Amino acid sequence: MKATGAKPRTPVVERAQPGDAGVRLIESGAALAEFRRDWPTLRADLAGPTSELDWMLAHVEALPGDQRLHAVALVEDDRLTALAPLVASTRRFPARLTWLGKDDVSSALYEDESRLQQLAVAIYRLRQPVMIDGLLPGAPTARALLRHCPEWIQISRSRWGGPSLPLDATWVAPLDKLGKKRRREMERTWRKAQDMGEVRFDVHLPDGDVLECLDEYVHLEASGWKGRAGTSLAHNHQERETLRHYLPRAAERGSVRITRMRIGDATAAMHLNVVAAGRWWGLKGAVDERFRSASPGMHLFAFTIGTAAEEGLERFEFMGGTAPFKEMWGAGGVELSRWSVYPATPSGTVALMGEFARRGQRKVSRELDHRGVRLRPGPPRSTPAG
């Protein structure tokens, strides 16, 4: 018999993992978006833009053709209670699972830790190699994954994520927090900036013009060392498209902050920021190297941190890894873990052998680079400008 009348509702979940009651695999952004109503009931190891549904949907929409969403979810009575936003990649053989996006902190979403434990078991039942970069050691997600890991081979390495700076009312004047020597240097470069032209700062809450602001940032970033090194958004299609999908959604909620330092008629420095979970998150930053001697990036950081303090936010999160120009404000990097597991299966063995081969190649490449030997022609490495 043919069904007539109302159009069938899009399925909330796409398919179950065989043998696991309540466990589902979500394989499209549309299916993930069906759970929007449940998002406020979920928590993460570190709440912020990377735990938002809109952030995840933007990453899904920007995935290249050799990657697809392979999220493991716990669903109870059509209600999402835990989620691991994994991606299946066929770029290498065998296929492996990685975390969605390349963010500072990787965290599952969960109603409570008992459901997080169930989620960890469900991930291992896929019996596929899993690589997660950005776990907070000792946080619930890391504890659950370590506790329930079968007798598989595990590899864990540490790295440093971006510093996290606690704020209070005194941070409305960030330069007062610096040591005497650093303050004198900031005063010197400030005078140099004034010699170059009228200096102005502004913070802009974009709405309909958010993509124009993104295009302005892409152009500015590509003109500097990141453009020469091939690491700018202009060279990274996936990251650029992720922001192109995410920023308009965040701007609709009033979460986007664009900060600029202008010298004369030119934008000397520009930051892309969002406010989420009571914190200010510095997503991206770029400077015009014509003004390098005036350290526009440092002066814009001072203005941006002061603006975050004026808004009464709890912390300033430097995303994108640690660096001396971030740590100078008194906040150290956050320790994170790169964690990989390989099942005792043919695919797991092949993946593990491939990992060791890549590590060996990187070690040899670093040694040759240290000795000034290049295997392939290419531009010299560049150093970030202040």
3-state secondary structure of 340: strand
User: Whole-model pTM?
Assistant: 0.85
Instruction: Kindly report whether the peptide bond that precedes residue 163 is cis, defined as omega within 30 degrees of 0.
Output: no
Overall number of domains in the chain: 2
pLDDT at 198: 97
User: pLDDT digit string (tens) for 25-84?
Assistant: 999 999 999 999 999 999 999 999 999 999 999 999 999 999 999 999 999 999 999 999
Q: Which residues pair with 161 in a beta bridge?
A: 334
Which one is predicted more confidently, 83 or 357?
Answer: 83
111 plus 223 within the same structural domain: no
Mean pLDDT of the chain: 87
174 plus 156 within the same structural domain: no
30 plus 139 within the same structural domain: yes
46 plus 143 within the same structural domain: yes
169 plus 152 within the same structural domain: no
Distance between CA atoms of residues 259 and 220, nearest Å: 13
pLDDT at 191: 97
150 plus 257 within the same structural domain: no
- Mean per-residue pLDDT, 241-256: 97
266 plus 311 within the same structural domain: yes
Count how many Cα atoms sit within 13 Å of the Cα of residue 45 in the half-sphere of its side chain: 20
301 plus 223 within the same structural domain: yes
Give CA separation, 171 vs 175, 308, 318, in Å.
Answer: 8, 9, 15
pLDDT at 371: 54
CB environment 310-341: b (16+ within 10 A), e (fewer): eeebebbbbbeebeeebbbbebebbebbebbb
Band the pLDDT of 160: cuts 50, 70, 90: confident
Q: HEC profile for 181-232?
A: HHHHHHHHHHHHHHHHCCEEEEEECCCCCHHHHHHHHHHHHHCCHHHHHCCC
Question: Residue 63: which CATH number?
Answer: 3.40.630
CB contact at 8 A, 87 and 98:
yes
Residue found under tokens 């695919």:
347
278 plus 352 within the same structural domain: no
Distance between CA atoms of residues 18 and 23, nearest Å: 9
Pick from 80-89, 264-273, 281-290, 319-328: least confident: 319-328
312 plus 184 within the same structural domain: yes
pLDDT at 339: 87
Which one is predicted more confidently, 176 or 1?
Answer: 176
3-state secondary structure of 61: helix
- Mean per-residue pLDDT, 116-137: 92
pLDDT at 122: 94
Q: Domain limits at 255?
A: 164-319
